[in-house]
């Protein structure tokens, strides 16, 4: 079994008890699927978004709606396939009406799933998309995305590059190149960093 197969097996074992997770209120608020994540289990670059939207909840995969299409386009332009990276969210269940996850929901989901996904995948770089993702990852609700985007932060030993959420770019297309530059920066740094 190679590293990729082994890590996939560990991820499957991690997810199995949580297929119908009820550890936070989002479990009873109309979710269809727990959207664990998708992509290369041995990826050097990992993306973390906010939470599943309607399309993701219906299909059980992250970033498959309008934001996902934009993310795919930017990944391709940077020279990446979706299957090169691992994509997940800070919460794995859709918040009702696409509201921002509550800090308590993010903290619960992170402690059960995200922390363990990161331990298994061991990316060298994490790119967070939007404010909820970086606030949840580094446990700081006061962080302003406009002030820290593009900077290299640390989570454990991993470089973290926070950037805008693709949904924000769909509403503010003039920031498209900023999002692209941050994704490209994250990709280049992940290639340079040894595991
Ligand atoms: N927005 C997110 O934050 N995550 C998804 O999976 C889809 C849209």
- Quick: pLDDT tens for 83-129: 999 999 999 999 999 999 999 999 999 999 999 999 999 999 999 99
CATH 3.20.20.150 fits 3-192, yes or no: no
Joined tokens for residue 92: 């794995």
For 51-77, write each residue's pLDDT tens digit: 999 999 999 999 999 999 999 999 999
Q: Give the pairing of strands 86-89 and 38-39.
A: antiparallel
Using a 6 Å cutoff on CB, does residue 95 contact ligand 1?
Answer: no
- C-alpha 87 – ligand 1 centre gap (Å): 10
Query: What is the per-residue pLDDT across 37-46, written as a single tens digit (0 to 9) for each?
Result: 999 999 999 9
Give me the residue spans of the domains in the chain. Answer: 3-192
pLDDT reported for residue 49? 98
- List, for residues 134-186, the tens digit of each pLDDT value: 999 999 999 999 999 999 999 999 999 999 999 999 999 999 999 999 999 99
Please, how many CA atoms are within 13 Å of residue 94, restricted to the half-sphere of its CB? 20
SS3 category, 49: strand
Chain CA centroid to CA 76, Å: 17
Mutate to test the pocket of ligand 1, among 32, 57, 87, 89 (most ligand atoms within 8 A of CB): 89
Q: What is the pLDDT of residue 195?
A: 82
In ligand 1, the atom with minimum distance to the C-alpha of 49 is 3
Q: Is the CB of 47 under 6 A from ligand 1?
A: no
- Kindly report whether the global pTM for this prediction surpasses the value 0.95: yes
Residue of 67, 162, 166 best suited for mutating to test ligand 1, as the one with most atoms within 8 Å of CB: 67
């Amino acid at each position: 079994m190679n590293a990729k197969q082994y890590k996939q097996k560990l991820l499957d074992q991690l997810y199995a008890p949580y297929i119908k997770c009820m550890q936070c209120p989002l479990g009873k608020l109309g979710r269809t699927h727990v959207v664990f994540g998708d992509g290369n289990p041995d990826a050097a670059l990992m993306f973390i978004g906010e939470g599943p939207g309607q399309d993701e909840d219906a299909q059980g995969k992250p970033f498959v709606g309008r934001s996902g299409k934009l993310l795919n386009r930017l990944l391709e332009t940077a020279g990446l396939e979706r299957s090169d990276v691992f994509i997940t969210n800070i919460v794995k269940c859709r918040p009702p009406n696409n509201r921002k996850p509550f800090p308590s929901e993010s903290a619960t989901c992170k402690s059960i799933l995200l922390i363990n996904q990161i331990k298994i995948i061991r990316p060298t770089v994490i790119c967070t998309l939007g404010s909820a993702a970086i606030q949840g990852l580094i446990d700081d609700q006061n962080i302003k995305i406009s002030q820290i985007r593009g900077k290299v932060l640390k989570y454990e030993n991993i470089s973290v590059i926070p950037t805008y959420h693709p949904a924000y770019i769909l509403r503010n297309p003039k920031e498209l190149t900023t999002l692209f530059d941050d994704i490209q920066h994250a990709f280049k740094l992940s290639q340079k960093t040894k595991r």
